[in-house]
Structure 1
Amino acid sequence: MNTSTNTEPHVPPRIGLIGLGSIGHIHAEHLQTLASEGVVELVGGMDIASEACERFENRFGVRAYENPDDLYETVDAVIIATPNRFHEEYAVSAFESGLDVFLEKPLAHNLRSAERIAKAAEKADGIGMVGFLNRFNDAVRVFKHYQRQGRFGEVTHVEANYVRRRGVPGRGSWFTNKEISGGGALVDIGVHAIDLALYLLSFPEVDELTGVTRSQFGGHEDYTYLEMWGEDGEGVFDVDDSASAFIRCADDRTVSLEVAWATNRPPTTEFVVQGTEGGATLDLDGNITIYEASNGGAPHFADSEIATRRLPAMRSELRAFLSAVAHDEPPKLNTVEEALVVQRVLDGIYRSSEGGGAVSLRENPISASD
């Protein structure tokens, strides 16, 4: 980290982007908005593809490099938005260069790689943060506010749904190539659902889980969709397009998980939370309903509808990272350690699906040295 940034928090951190595809451009757009507030300076980008560098330079008016070392010399921190397989390469080198690192979810394409990133982050002087933007969703923030006040008592179960009816993000792209992505719907959007569910439970220790992954729609020639986030490519489709799992945590806290890129049911991003004093339904569209019961006056149920402002969650997330960089303080949310727990759950669900039974996470058979 730059010394002047450490001692003068009012000096905007200099940020560079690694991975100049669609997600990189979205980050850059938010960074430019934040730059207008004086909280950041977007100084450059990096991609191994010269065409991507040229597009980035033309659109955002900053230098783009094909070698990460050239970028590292100009910045205080980097945002890594590459395909999953390349997270480790850039995260480890950035940490070793003394930089602060924001890494898009998931931590890596597999558990071994994720553990090596976590090991590098632990040794590094710079801070690390992982891109689970839904923690910054206004509905989630409101829920956590009331949770801290004790309104829900002990939260014991989360029903986590992250379901698209037809939403494969580009068949034949890197998203659907297991070697590059590490998995399909479970890795792409399931990682959000797992992280948020554990966050709503205050990140208990995960004991065991059972799960099933499926590939039923995305690889078929007659896959029917109305719109697609990406575009069809010429590559393979060898990943899951849906997953179901049950996760058991310490003190009998549990998560039921339903994830899909494609399925024959209504789409939903609804999280149902059960607590000993109250419960809630959160929708990532920004709405909350709180469910309570009382004997006050007479026995009754009370359902409270809450609407939020729905500010851009990614921008709020980046603002938190930039604040941590500017003040040289570890982030309070989205830590690398928490992301490693999520990665172990992902790995466990795949192992359970392959083996047909429950998987214990109390004994982790993989170490970073493997």
Structure 2
Amino acid sequence: MTHATIRLGVIGAGAIGNIHMQTFQKVDGIDVVAVTDAYLPLAEQRAAEHGIEMVHASPQAMLEDSSIDAVVIGVPNSFHAALAIEALKQGKHVLLEKPMAIHSEAAREIVEEAERSGKILMMSHQMRWTGLSRALKQRVDNGDVGHIYNAKAGWIRKKGIPGWGSWFTRKDQSGGGPLIDIGVHMLDLSLYLMGNPKPISVYGSTYAEFGPKREGIGSWGTPNWDGYYDVEDLASALIKFDNGATLSLEVSWAAHAAFMSEEPFIHLMGTQGGVAIVGNDGKYVTHTETGIAESDITPLDGEEDRILMSRHFAECIREGKQPITSALSGYTNNRILDAIYESSRTGNEVKLNWN
């Protein structure tokens, strides 16, 4: 039974976990009451900073605490599946950081446990909640774009490899490089804006031209020079859908990319018009009798994206409704990511079977 005020625990006290703690303290009807981390002094520090009443010695101890209704899981990717499944088994609602898992088999197990438990499993994809993303979705839903038959999305970082040698750059712990790190955000947002068509085939390639040479390193994360780098630093893919549409996806942590912005971008091309996001700017374009008409898209009013996302999580718990970023959306993303990596490994197109 969920308490009148939802009691929330945060697993992972690092940068992402800290953002969740700060955000949920701004959401009515939900209290951050517990935190844990593999490095307990950091959990204790966060508890002191945010006035959190409990520090659990381990994730398992938190999940076995019947006074907690829901948890945020913000830990390295390789731990997502086991913690999410155990949380659901212990009767907790879950807000799970992206990616859902390091591969789709583990993601499927999370989906199955969510279905068995009847609890909410929501993916943390805050980019769906920006004022600009919501404005584009409104234009699409209003029919201003028509049938979206082609899309292009990506995020090209030119010199931004995070935490060289740490879990970020180890495939067994992260699942991959920029594709599964920032690419999953662009993939998720593209599918959402396109109306969630079913992916049926994928062709992709990945490259590691900088990381193995300890080049292209950015400022995010803490390097471990005793570690190693066995993930990609650039990925490119073409995804085909059952409604005939295609999506091209390009992401990198490091690239010699002249004239390319480092801001995330999405271009949706439809039969009636087109919409695009580049960084914090949005555009709508359509043909007229005399030429081409372009207009700016104004972001919808509202609170900061993470606050809206966190409030949605609380509403789903109270009302028992499926979140916009459902467990199925996380699984679909993982299926596509796996297919891109497989296509790169084999050199062949990968067809997706959804039976």
Where on the TM-score scale, by shorter chain, does this alignment land: which range? over 0.9
Q: Percent identity, aligned pairs only?
A: 33
Counterpart in the other structure of 1:243: 235
How many Å separate the matches in 1 of 2:146 and 2:281? 21
Counterpart in the other structure of 1:204: 197
Q: For each residue in 1:340-364, what CA deviation from the matched residue of structure 2 results, as whole angstroms up to 9, or x when unmatched?
A: 0110000000000000010001268
Q: For each residue in 1:271-306, what CA deviation from the matched residue of structure 2 results, as whole angstroms up to 9, or x when unmatched?
A: 1110000001112x33211001233xxx33211112
Contact 2:158 2:216 in 1 (8 A): no
SS in 2 for 1:33: coil
Moved more, 46-55 or 98-107: 46-55
Counterpart in the other structure of 1:367: none
Cα offset, 1:310, TM superposition: 8.5
Structure 2 residue 18 is matched with structure 1 residue 28:
no
Counterpart in the other structure of 2:211: 218
Counterpart in the other structure of 2:34: 44
Contact 2:205 2:343 in 1 (8 A): yes
Counterpart in the other structure of 1:103: 96
Counterpart in the other structure of 1:259: 251
Structure 2 residue 304 is matched with structure 1 residue 288:
no
Cα offset, 1:160, TM superposition: 0.5
Counterpart in the other structure of 2:117: 124
| Paired letter, 2:287 | A
Cα offset, 1:156, TM superposition: 1.1
Counterpart in the other structure of 1:341: 332
Counterpart in the other structure of 1:168: 161
Cα 1:323/1:177, change in 2 over 3 Å = same
Q: Of 264, 267, 270, which aligns to 1:269?
A: 264
Q: Of 341, 346, 354, which aligns to 1:355?
A: 346
SS in 1 for 2:26: helix
How many Å separate the matches in 1 of 2:153 and 2:247? 7
Contact 2:160 2:216 in 1 (8 A): no
Cα offset, 1:20, TM superposition: 1.4
| Paired letter, 2:228 | V
| Paired letter, 2:246 | T
Structure 2 residue 105 is matched with structure 1 residue 80:
no
Cα offset, 1:307, TM superposition: 3.4
Q: For each residue in 1:205-261, what CA deviation from the matched residue of structure 2 results, as whole angstroms up to 9, or x when unmatched?
A: 11101000111112213x255x51212123211111110000011121100010001
How many Å separate the matches in 1 of 2:210 and 2:77? 23
TM-score (norm 2): 0.93
How many Å separate the matches in 1 of 2:160 and 2:328? 30
- In the alignment of these two chains, the number of paired residues is 347
How many Å separate the matches in 1 of 2:158 and 2:49? 33
Contact 2:136 2:297 in 1 (8 A): no
Contact 2:9 2:34 in 1 (8 A): yes
Cα 1:326/1:256, change in 2 over 3 Å = same
Consecutive unaligned residues of structure 1, counting only runs of 5 or more, are 6-10, 365-370
SS in 2 for 1:362: coil
SS in 1 for 2:25: helix
Cα offset, 1:157, TM superposition: 1.2
SS in 2 for 1:202: coil
TM-score (norm 1): 0.90
| Paired letter, 1:238 | D
| Paired letter, 2:38 | I
Q: Of 57, 82, 86, which aligns to 1:66?
A: 57
Counterpart in the other structure of 2:320: 328
Contact 2:6 2:29 in 1 (8 A): yes
Consecutive unaligned residues of structure 2, counting only runs of 5 or more, are none
| Paired letter, 1:205 | K
Counterpart in the other structure of 1:313: 305
Counterpart in the other structure of 2:11: 18
SS in 1 for 2:29: coil
Structure 2 residue 264 is matched with structure 1 residue 279:
no
Moved more, 174-183 or 317-326: 317-326
Q: Runs ≥4 in structure 1, deviation > 4 angstroms?
A: none
Contact 1:12 1:326 in 2 (8 A): no
